Every structure is written in C-alpha cells, then in structure tokens.
Amino acid sequence: MEKQKIRSAGGKVGVLLPGMGAVATTFIAGVEAVKAGLALPIGSLTQLGTIRLGKRTDDRVPRPKEFVPIAELGQLEFAGWDPIADNCYEAARKAGVLEEKLLEQIRHRLEPIKPMPAVFDTRYVKKLDGPNVKKGANWMELAEQLREDIRRFKSEKKLDRMVMVWCGSTEIYLEQKPVHESLKAFEAGLKANDPDIAPSMVYAYAALKERVPFANGAPNLTVDFPAMTELAKEMRVPICGKDFKTGQTMLKTVLAPMFKSRMLGVAGWYSTNILGNRDGEVLDDPESFKTKEVSKLGVLEHILQPEKNPELYGNIYHKVRINYYPPRGDNKEGWDNIDIFGWLGYPMQIKVDFLCRDSILAAPLVLDLALFLDFAERSGMSGIQEWLSFYFKSPQTAPGLYPEHDLFIQLMKLKNNLRHAMGEELITHLGQEYYA
C-alpha cells in the first residue's frame, strides 16, 4: 500500500477549549503533570495503546505515537473561553477532580492560562451564568471576535497549527432547521441572530473559518448539519462526532454487541446516573437533558438493529435518567438494570454499578482527539472523520449512512485508518495465512 503524504508534526500546536470547567482543566493539568514526570497518561490510546502491524508472528506492535507522526505533549499550548473568569488553577481546584497536592506541583503552569471572554447565552444553558462574556450586535460579530482570539493566540504563542475541542456545557435541544441547510443560509442566520443558532455553532464556525479542526465533546447540534459539513469541505478542515463516550454509554457499546453477537434478546435497559459537577447541574434543566438523552438513546438502536431482529430487540423498553446530586461532585455513578432473555425465551438479568470519575475518563479523549485531528489535517483529510467514532456517543457520518457504535469495530476502524495512512497492510483477522 502507498503511504500518504503527511506534513511534519514539528512545531507548536495550540489546543483551544471552549468551556474551561472540570473536563478542560483536568485535561490541561493532566498533560502538564505528565510532562513534569508526575503521572502517566492512562486512558490515552495515542500515548499507551499499541497497534499491530503485519502478521501476528511479525511481533510489530508499536504505540500509535511511535507509528504515526503525531505531536508530542511538549509541543502543546492551551487556551480557552469560559463565562467564569477563574484561571486554570482556580477552576481545577473548584472542580474538585484532582488532588490539591498534584495541583500545587503544577500551579505555576496552570495559573497563566486564563479564559478569554466567552460567547455565551443563558437561553441555551439555563443553569449556568458568569460575567466573562463577549458583547456583540449579532452572532456573526461574536464569531469575528472569536476568530480574532484565535489569530491572537496563534501569534502570541508562535503556533504552527491549532485544533479546537468543545468542552463546554450541554446546550438545550435544537433540531435541524432551514438555517442549517446551507452555508449561505447559516451565515445569513448569524447576521440575523437566528435563535436556532447556539453558541457552540458560533465557535465551530469561527474555528472552521480559521482552518482549525473541530471536535465536539457535548451532545449539542454543533457541526453535524449540512452547513458545517459544507464549510469543513470548503476550508479543507477535519470534523468528527459529538459527545464524549466515557462512562455508561461506553459500557453499553461493549455489552450490547455481546448480546447481539450471541443472539441474546433484550427486553429492557434502565439506566440512571447521579452526578454533582457543573455538567450535572446543567443537565438538571429538562431542555439540556433532552439533548443528552437523544445522544444516549440512539446507541442501542443502532447496535441491536431491532428492525432486523424484531423477535429479540423489537420491544425493548429503554429508559435513561440523569439526576443532579451535588455531594457526589465529579464522581459519577451510573447504574444499569438490563433484562435479557435466552434459549427458549428464559429471562435473565445483568446489573452494572459503575462508580466512575467523569472528567478522568474524558480528559484522555480530549488529548487523543487533539492529536489525531492535527494528524488528520496534516495528512490532507478534511470533512467528516468517521474513523474517530471510537471517541463519541454520536459519531458523525455521511448523510444516509448509519453510525457504527460497537466500541471494538470503532477501534478496528481507527487503527486501520492509521495503517492505511502509513502504507501498511490492513488487518482483516481472517488468519488463513497461518494455516496454508
């Protein structure tokens, strides 16, 4: 296979983060702790994963960062926006995810990172507010202010490239409307302050106009509509899915493929969460919760394909709940009750209690997405990057194409994409060559 032409990974890379709350500060502090030799980048595929090359007998299993030319952690510079003006150290302390002892050791690296005034509107996130907010006549004017922020950050830090990863809150549920159907309509909507345009869309528009790759860590309607796909293609910029796949949904994309592969029926799946951080407070608003609910509910339908196996999955009762519970902080608990049935229809149950740390699971995903999006841009990849579905509850795909949610199919897709880019043979797992 022919190796793709890939620009050098050298130089400084800016990571832009709309939303400087628990996820963003845990990510930044974690990278700084790893750079300082204080911790390991656990959970990061780029840093600790492996990728098999050639036959199993070849014993070629480098780490992704050794196999493909991706930026090193020391090349990363951070900036972001937030309606709350706390610097990165203060925000990390208030988030309560990381221990004070660790934060004090990297305090000098975190305090200089101060959020720029945000594009923010309480109509779209009703449980959050703050004074560090941009003013403008319309969405387009605010987008131009963001573009100026991006250019200034690039100049001040002498950056070669940038990526943007949305780490902000879940916005209210919005459906695709005429304003989203074309770039022309969307830009007219920006100038007209169309209420069907949310702040996250303004960030995405600004990023793509500056040729900055964009990933969406929340379930908002942000880049997954025709106008943004059109812009990404026009500017030759990669985009991907939405809503980080971390706790409960990650487990669903492991367990559901098991049921389907063994032809075990599913009668019901009840999921509930308790969460006490800023995200939990925002999701306490029914309109924001609906955005998250739609993202979470779609996973089972796509994996189990009830229309193809109606006798096994045609009558699933699937319920998702998220409850704001302040004492738990960032330590989320996801509880699942799964009613399944097997041979001759006999019922069985599985119960899962996942006591996880939301931002600890999300932070390495931010790192991987930043590094892989930068790699994609240097490789000439633009538009929808379905190979990055591995990281999202709602992978973005071409119109009319259903998404793959199975975690292991997604991982195979990701690794084969890397093999293809580097001119290596794709892995099919047929295994016949060992028995010829």
267 and 319 Cβ atoms separated by less than 8 Å: no
Nearest to 18 by CA among 89, 120, 110, 87: 120
Average pLDDT over residues 391-412: 95
What's residue 58's pLDDT? 94
Q: E strand or H helix at 340, and its extent? A: strand 333-341
Q: Is the dihedral of CA 25, 28, 33, 34 positive or negative?
A: positive
Average pLDDT over residues 319-325: 90
Average pLDDT over residues 128-138: 96
* Bridge partners, residue 406, by sequence: none
53 and 3 Cβ atoms separated by less than 8 Å: no
What's residue 365's pLDDT? 98
What's residue 1's pLDDT? 66
What confidence category does residue 297 fall into, taking pLDDT thresholds of 50, 70 and 90?
A: confident
Average pLDDT over residues 296-308: 89
* Bridge partners, residue 334, by sequence: 273, 354
Q: What is the pLDDT of residues 167-220, one digit of tens each?
A: 999 999 999 999 999 999 999 999 999 999 999 999 999 999 999 999 999 999
pLDDT above 70 covers a percentage of the chain that reads: 100
Distance CA 146, CA 350 (A): 48
What confidence category does residue 279 fall into, taking pLDDT thresholds of 50, 70 and 90?
A: confident
How far, CA to CA in Å, does 94 sit from each of 22, 100, 217, 363?
8, 10, 21, 17
Distance CA 303, CA 10 (A): 40
What's residue 429's pLDDT? 85
CA atoms within 13 A on the CB side of 320: 17
Hunting for tokens 């989320």 — which residue is that? 332
Distance CA 40, CA 420 (A): 29
**pLDDT at position 295 over 80:** no
Distance CA 418, CA 424 (A): 8
What's residue 397's pLDDT? 96
DSSP SS3 for 135? coil
What's residue 4's pLDDT? 86
DSSP SS3 for 155? helix
What's residue 298's pLDDT? 82
| CB-based burial label for 397 (10 Å; 0-12, 13-18, 19+) | middle
Q: What is the pLDDT of residues 14-68, one digit of tens each?
A: 999 999 999 999 999 999 999 999 999 999 999 999 999 999 999 999 999 999 9
Mean pLDDT of the residues in the chain: 95
Strand order in the sheet with 333-341: 317-324, 265-275, 333-341, 347-355
DSSP SS3 for 188? helix
DSSP tally for the chain: helices H, then strands E: 16, 11
As a whole number of angstroms, the longest Cα–Cα distance in the chain is 71
What's residue 127's pLDDT? 86
Q: What is the pLDDT of residues 221-237, one digit of tens each?
A: 999 999 999 999 999 99
Q: Which residues neighbour 104 within 8 Å (Cβ) at sequence distance 6 or greater?
A: none
What's residue 277's pLDDT? 78
What's residue 56's pLDDT? 92
